[in-house]
Each structure stands twice: as C-alpha cells, then as structure tokens.
Structure 1
C-alpha cells in the first residue's frame, strides 16, 4: 500500500502537495483562530506540513493519515524538526477508511476528496470523526473559467467538465450538503506556479541522476509537454481552494 513512485519523484521537494504556499497555509491557520489544544484529523496528510506548522504556531494536536510511506516518514521528520512530535502523530494507512478513536475539533481532507469518491462521500467520512459543532476543512479544485474543449478538461485532470464546479456552484454545493462556508483560502496563479514548476525541477534532477530507470521515458515525455500544457490550460482555467465548513 503506497503511492506510485512517479508521484513521489514529481513531488520530492514539496512540503505542501497542493497549489498552496506556506504563506497561504499560515494565513489560513490565523484566519481560523485555532485555540491551543484543538484536536485535528488530517486525512491524506501528505508530508504533514499543515499539522506540524499549526502545532508549532497554534499549539494544536492531531493525527495525519497518508498512504505514502515516504511522505509519512517526511511528516514525522518535520514534526521532530519543529519540536512538535509530542503533539502530532502520523499514520501510514488508507485514509479512505480511517475514523478517529475519539471525536476531533477539526477534520480535514485537503485536495484528496477522491478518498470518499468526491465531496459528498469525503464529508460523510470526516463527519464520523468530528465532534458536534466541530469544523471541516475541504481542499477542492474548481473552474476559474469555463473550459473551451475536452483537451482543456483533460489537461486539468478531469474526465468531463462536470467533474468540477465553478466557485459559486461549489459554495452552493456545500450549502446543499448542510454546511455554512465560514472561511476560504484560494490558490492564485503564483501559488500554482510554485507548485507545478517545482515538479518540473524535481523531475529534471531525477532524470539527470537516473537516465536508465524504467520510468525515465515516461517522465522525460511529461517534462517535455507539461510546462506548455500547464500555461495553456491549467494555469488559466483551474482554481483551487480550502474551504472551512460548519454544520447548520
């Protein structure tokens, strides 16, 4: 049980595995007015940057769950680096079936709602770990502009245009599910650039070190096409944000 190797190669230098900068992550923590001792659960926690930095800054506690052995190891190392290993722990496992032993104050899935087959299922999963009155955090893409054709749709990692909503439609969907949107922090084109361009550098450095690896032809082809595709489609049409929700 692990992520495909090409994914960890692509994001080998990333602390945040989404188009979010450390500044935006810090701003979100400030905006949520996190109280010391807040207990959090982060499903698909990646390299643990959210839990580790918020534990350091806001003195929260919590658990992260991720399917990647490499990212889980990085998360534990980051907790030790920031001196918060006694506040947060990281579990290698399938987040799609994980429910906390005790109710938490904050339950999050940032950019990985496929663990619940979409927003509805992921919210249902998170809600099983959330105390009454607790807060959900959902990270999700949306259309900044209507995609002009199927090439754009697929370049934005969707099968059909209906896989994503516009931002207003996404916010309305949270309401239909019984939640008030009480905060949002959106990626911008610069944070998208920082996320995606770092992938290209990671791939190139890996290719230079591993020219004969079985993955080299696939990653070489990806590096050759992705910068222009990203600039033509993803950068212009795809938005992404983290949304804080409270049940009605």
Structure 2
C-alpha cells in the first residue's frame, strides 16, 4: 500500500500539497481559533505541514494519516525539525478506512475528498472521529467561472462539469447536508501559480537527472503541456478553498 512513484516525484520539495501557501495555512489556523491542546485528525495529511506548523504556533496535538510512505517519512522529519515530534504523530495507512481511537476537536481532509466519494461523503467520514461540538475542515475545488466547454472541464481535472460545484453551489451543498460553514480560506491565482509552477521546475530538474527513466516520456509530455493548461484553464476557471464546518 503506497502512493504511485510519479506523485512523490512531482511533489518534490513542496511542503503544502495543495494550492495553499504558508500564509494561507497560518491564516486558517488562526481564524478557526485553535486552542492549546486541541486534538486534530488530518486524513491524507501529506507531508504534515498543517499539523506540524499548527502544533508549533498553537500548541495543538494531532495525528496525520497518509497512504504515502515517502510523505509520512517527510512529515516525521518536519515534526522533528520544528520541535513538535512529541505533539504530533504520522501513520502510514489508507485514510479512507482509518479508525481513530478517540474523538477529536478538529477533523480535517484538505483536498482529498475522493476518500469519501465526494465532499458530503467525506464530511460523513470525518464526522465519525469528531467529538460533539467539534469542527470539520474540508478542502475542495469549485468553479471560479462557468467552464465553456469539455476541454476546459478536462483541463481542470474533472470528467464532467458537475464533478465540481460553483462556490455558492458548494456552500449550499454543505449546508444542505446539515452543517454550517463558519469560516473559509480560499486559494487565489497566486497560490495556484506557486503550487503549479513548483511542479514544473521539479519535473525539469528530475528529467535532467534521469533522462532514461521509465517515467521520462510521460513527464516530458506533462512539462510541455501543463504550463499551458494552467494559464489557459486552471488559474482562470478552477477555485479551491478550505471550509470550516460545525454541525447544525
């Protein structure tokens, strides 16, 4: 059980594996009013930047779960580097089936709602780990602008237009599922650029060092095609944000 090698290579030295920069992650931790010793569960925790930086800044404790051995190892290194290894732990496991041993104050899935088959299914999955009155954090894409054609939809990682809502539709879907949206922090075009463009440099450096690797051909195509997809489609049409929820 592990993440495909191509994803590990592509994410390179990125610490935040979504179109969020460090300032936005810090803003999110601040606006949801974390308190010392709040307990967190982060499903699909990636390289652990959320838990590690919030443990340092707010004194929280938590568990991150991710299917990637490389990301889990990187998260443990990050915790040690920030001096919070006694406050956070990282588990290599399938987040979709993970059962946390005790209710937590905050349960999060930031940008991986496929684990629950979509945003409402992921809300239900996270809610199983939540104490009464606790908060959920869900990261999810949405349409910034209505996609005009199937080419735009495909370039934004969707199969059909209805794979994503627009922002009012997404908020309405969450509310209709029985939750109040009590905060949100949204990516902007600059944070999208920082996330997307970091992949391009990583891929180019990797290709220079591994020209004969089995992945070289597909990565060469990606490096040729992805910058145009990003500037033509994704940064214009696709939004992304993290939404803080409390059960009604």
Shift of 1:99: 2.0
SS of equivalent residue, structure 2 residue 148: coil
SS of equivalent residue, structure 2 residue 108: strand
Aligned-pair RMSD on alpha carbons?
Answer: 0.5
Q: Name 2:5's counterpart in structure 1.
A: 5
Q: Name 1:197's counterpart in structure 2.
A: 197
Q: Name 2:246's counterpart in structure 1.
A: 246
Q: Name 1:85's counterpart in structure 2.
A: 85
Shift of 1:67: 0.4
Query: TM-score when scaled to structure 2?
Result: 0.99
Checking the alignment, whether the CA contact within 8 Å between 1:99 and 1:126 is kept in structure 2 is: no
Shift of 1:98: 1.0
Gaps of 5+ in 2: none
Q: Name 1:144's counterpart in structure 2.
A: 144
Shift of 1:95: 0.1
The CA deviation string for residues 66-108 of structure 1, in whole angstroms up to 9 with x for no partner, is 0000000000000000000000000001000112100000000
SS of equivalent residue, structure 1 residue 136: strand
Q: Name 1:51's counterpart in structure 2.
A: 51
Gaps of 5+ in 1: none
Query: Separation in 2 of the partners of 1:76 and 1:20?
Result: 21
Shift of 1:26: 0.3
Count of aligned pairs between the two proteins: 248
Query: TM-score when scaled to structure 1?
Result: 0.99
Q: Name 1:39's counterpart in structure 2.
A: 39
Query: Separation in 1 of the partners of 2:162 and 2:32?
Result: 30
The CA deviation string for residues 102-156 of structure 1, in whole angstroms up to 9 with x for no partner, is 0000000000000011112111111110000000000000000000110100000
SS of equivalent residue, structure 1 residue 86: coil
Checking the alignment, whether the CA contact within 8 Å between 1:52 and 1:82 is kept in structure 2 is: yes
Shift of 1:229: 1.1
Query: Separation in 1 of the partners of 2:225 and 2:80?
Result: 38
Query: Separation in 1 of the partners of 2:52 and 2:118?
Result: 26
